[in-house]
Amino acid sequence: MNGIMNQHAAGPAGRGLLQVCLNGARTAGESAAVPMTPEAMGRSAARAVAAGAAEVHVHPKTPCGQDSVSGRLVAETVEAIRAAAVGVPVGVTTGAWAEPDPVRRVERVRSWTVLPDLASVNWHEPGAEEVAAALLERGVAVEAGLWSGTPGVRLFAASPLAPRVARVLAEVTDTDPATAPRTARALLEEAAPPTGVPVLLHGEDGGAWPVLRLALRLGLDTRIGLEDTLRLPDGTPAASNAELVTAAAHLRAEAEHPPAE
């Protein structure tokens, strides 16, 4: 199969979707800017959307700050964000760390009373197929998380559910800013989503901004937010998700309209 890189080897950068990832598995101890309650997530989402984000990805949290896929917390989080950022798609995590038991994770998904628009499923995790199938049965779009350095790409390629996902989420776990773009290119070469399935490419921590710049050059969807990095492109701490989105929007504008030589 031809990798994603072959589909984007030439031509000007396109205007890919920009998603904001509000919090991830981070805690308030890492940054006071990380939104931890549904109300704070709603406010943060609204400001990020006003800054240019077209979609929201969030990790619902327990009162003690742990990620969760419980029906009550998913409902409270999704409703708070929808009330604050009307009409913007909202996605949630189904990461194994939020519910380590694969059987219980599927049960949780099937118990949701308020459905997000989409949910990410990390294909290298035990139970990924079953979780994705449960989401699709409920009408929730699936982001297939393919992490670099894991067997996720291979497992996804063999999955009968691959043609049914809404997006491939290419996640670069290399946090070295010098090597993350190379790791990203290798991941894109390896990955081969079904025709018509878009790709969202992103990095994390030190690799977040270099990988975002690569995604912009290739015209791919991408994301930014306090889940992926706590710092702006110049290395200063980010005060909010909106500040990160604003920086990403500026980089996208520069990629689309480079200065004349």
Residues of the chain with pLDDT under 70: 1-15, 259-261
Helices (H), the chain: 4-7, 38-51, 71-84, 102-111, 128-137, 152-157, 180-190, 208-218, 241-256
Q: Using CA atoms, how far apart are residues 8 and 15, in angstroms rounded to an integer?
A: 13
Q: What is the pLDDT of residue 256?
A: 84
In whole angstroms, what is the distance from residue 6 CA to residue 168 CA?
A: 16
| Cα-based distances in Å from 123 to 1, 117, 244 | 19, 19, 28
Task: Tell me what pLDDT residue 261 has.
Answer: 54
pTM listed for this prediction: 0.93
The pLDDT of residue 194: 85
Res 2: pLDDT: 43
Q: How far is CA 24 from CA 120, 154, 204, 244, 258, in A?
A: 12, 25, 11, 15, 32
| Closest of 62, 142, 136 to residue 94, by C-alpha | 142
* pLDDT computed for residue 1 by the predictor: 35
One-letter amino acid identity for 107? E
